[in-house]
Amino acid sequence: MSDKAVSGSPTLEDVARAAGVSRATVSRVINGIRNVDPAIQDLVRRAVEATGYVPNRAARSLVTRRADSIALVLSGAGDDERDLAPDEAEGDVFTDPFFGRIASGVVGFLRPRGMHPVLMLADSADARQQVVTHLRQGHTDGAVVVSTHAKDPLPERLAAARVPVVRFARPPRPMPVSYVDLAHQDGARLAADHLVARGCRHVVTIAGPLDVPASQDRLTGFRDAMARHGHPYVPTAEGNFTQDSGERAMARLLAQEPALDGVFAANDLMAAGALHVLREQGRDVPGQVAVVGFDDSSAARASRPALTTVRQPVEDMAGEMARLLLDRIAAPEGRPTSVIFDPSLVVRRSA
Amino acid sequence: MSDKAVSGSPTLEDVARAAGVSRATVSRVINGIRNVDPAIQDLVRRAVEATGYVPNRAARSLVTRRADSIALVLSGAGDDERDLAPDEAEGDVFTDPFFGRIASGVVGFLRPRGMHPVLMLADSADARQQVVTHLRQGHTDGAVVVSTHAKDPLPERLAAARVPVVRFARPPRPMPVSYVDLAHQDGARLAADHLVARGCRHVVTIAGPLDVPASQDRLTGFRDAMARHGHPYVPTAEGNFTQDSGERAMARLLAQEPALDGVFAANDLMAAGALHVLREQGRDVPGQVAVVGFDDSSAARASRPALTTVRQPVEDMAGEMARLLLDRIAAPEGRPTSVIFDPSLVVRRSA
DNA sequence: CTGAAAGCGCTAACAT
DNA sequence: ATGTTAGCGCTTTCAG
């Protein structure tokens, strides 16, 4: 391998000279354009090898007007700033077990294609503006955005700026944006079926924040399925997807329905909170009470007993987001697309 | 705000025309170069405003030969591929609670400076080569690298390629690379002092993998401090920083030292594992056994009882890595630097 | 203190 | 099928 420093990198010109052809021809070979004599192609490739040539991305971008890179943006708070210290606000987003899986899926898809995502955080009005500007300038060709809050204005703003965007999760209000999502209702049904099959008669549920479509779907799906099983009424407490809120919700439910023998929580963190409260109250899980979570996050495996949970294939979904985005960048005029993934039940100890 | 599409973005030329000056002058103003008549500066700034001009980064990079962006690379497995499915291997790295905090710190530092990190994952030989190539090409000006395994060859390779690099944690073998680290021994001492002050007489410790310098330091620091407190012998079991390994280690120690009344685990995940095993064995925490973790990760707050732990200011450390890297990029010939942070004790329920 | 002009390395018409 | 040529938008000597 050549040991040339970045500064004196060989250019197209050098390769052309070495191969005895023109820059244009080398460019064609490099970019895999047909209409080049196979013999010459070989010649060029050999010259590339010999010179240790690597294309200069800035030069290429300048003329193609494409950055050949995409942004992975985590979009936090809503319209108003929250009164957290910046550190906390950030920790909030990145600490979510989801984030790692999303990043993993996106990177996993991009890497074989020689691309890497640019990580951006949009947790304040300023930050959001910065993201929009960045994208509009073409520093990145598009964005995969994960909003942690229901009415995050960013995706709509980006779409309005004609920036290719793919969201994680269906938007709260219909808007012309591509997205990837899960069949939440089916997932909730999986949980209901499992609980009923186990013989649970007094089932309760801890819902997520109801302004989030996913929470709504999980709740609706669960209630519908329970109703079909002959349980038209399911005591419900609302949480906000944190472990603490799960604990509080569980305590309320326990007071309201002391005879409960089954719990479905809308995510694993809240399920873990429920587990703690149940143990504190001396209820054996899964002996006396069965608990089912949602997501199959690391929290599900870390809990004791380990959580039976509805798996959301987040990595695959994130990879698909990247795929949709690249498609869209290649054909900007297409209509928004959406892909819905199927959940599956992962049975562990808790139910 | 102007609604111009990316395609027709105003250029320096446009601004120059609007301001009635030359491109060069506008460029000087934009780049904050002195020697420009204040009146003209104002004129130009107004023109920038009016036209909605934003510099084209590709064009700028082409001439300055700087990308104005850095890479955040997570470097996984050692020299050999591990026999995990790609998904697992990735999940592995990104799932680590550390990752989110690192990302948060780096982004927090970069964002006010208008920069965003490019996220790269180097968990196989191929991936590492890709990272090196990417950096050598100048797509990014340098890298902040976090190695999850002891003898990750990447930092050394990058340094050899004369790419500016800052590591998280002191390298296992001395090498000319800047890094940011924690005073692990001091942290361990904090834990020891706390346990002894609480009245613990039979203290054991769960160490991290001993080929990692941080694990060594924590163990050494803990033993030394305990010795100073009159406890020359501390039963020890080695884990690998996972919760499972913490459970196994705790079980072994319990068998070896049934009368134990204090546990120091080298990270929170292992401490959480210890908590589970202690509860299973009917030991009350903190009543009969006090448990102290390390890191102050989300796991510490999620545990029940919540973990008393040695806090590692990861976000600050990550921000500092970014700062050191930018300094180094600005002055590539300087000598490697290192910054050591102080740990602190966070007292919660477990001890 | 400001302007003119020369590229940075590459792609994409347009010729041939 | 290959070569010639004209920029992409910006920074940076070098003159003035």
Asked if the Cβ–Cβ distance from A302 to B272 is below 8 Å, we say yes
Phi and psi at residue A93, in whole multiples of 5°?
Answer: -65, -50
Amino acid B25 CA to nucleotide D12 C1' distance, rounded Å: 11
Residues of chain A with confidence (pLDDT) below 50: 1-7, 78-91
Cα gap A152→A77, rounded to integer Å = 7
Domains, chain A: 12-64 (1.10.260.40), 70-181+315-341 (3.40.50.2300), 184-311 (3.40.50.2300)
pLDDT at res. B77: 54
* Phi–psi pair at A257, nearest 5 degrees: -135, 70
**In whole angstroms, what is the distance from residue B129 CA to residue B288 CA?**
52
Which tens digits make up the pLDDT trace of A248-288?
999 999 999 999 999 999 999 999 999 999 999 999 999 99
Shortest CA to C1' contact from A19: nucleotide: D2
Length of chain B measured in residues? 351
**pLDDT-flagged residues of chain B (< 70):** 1-8, 77-95
* B59 DSSP 8-state letter: H
- For residue B135, the chain A residue with the least C-alpha distance is A6
Asked whether residue A60, judged by its CB, lies under 7 Å from any atom of the DNA or RNA strand D, the reply is no
**Is the N-terminal amide bond of A332 cis, ω within 30° of 0?**
no
Q: Give yes or no for CB of B9 within 7 Å of strand D.
A: yes
The answer to whether residues A18 and A51 touch, using CB atoms and an 8 Å cutoff, is yes
Q: Are B294 and B322 in contact (CB under 8 A)?
A: no
Contacts of B72 in chain A (CB under 8 A): 119
Distance B61 CA to D10 C1' (A): 8
Q: Is the model's pTM score more than 0.85?
A: yes
pLDDT given at position B93: 64
How many residues does the structure list for chain A? 351
Q: Is A61 helix (H, G, I), strand (E, B) or coil?
A: helix
- Point out the nucleotide closest to B19 (alpha carbon to C1′): C2
Residues A104 and A318 sit within 8 Å (Cβ to Cβ): yes
Q: What is the mean pLDDT of chain B?
A: 89
Distance CA B38, CA B175 (A): 48
Instruction: Give the pLDDT of residue A93.
Output: 64
What confidence tens digit (pLDDT) does each residue in A35-78 have? Answer: 788 888 888 888 888 888 888 889 999 999 889 899 999 987 54
- Chain A residues whose beta carbon lies within 8 Å of the beta carbon of residue B107: 90, 119-121
Question: Strand C positions with any atom < 7 Å from protein CB?
Answer: 1-13
Across the interface, of B87, B162, B243, the residue whose CB is closest to A5 is B162
Among protein residues, the one whose C-alpha sits closest to the C1' atom of D6 is A63
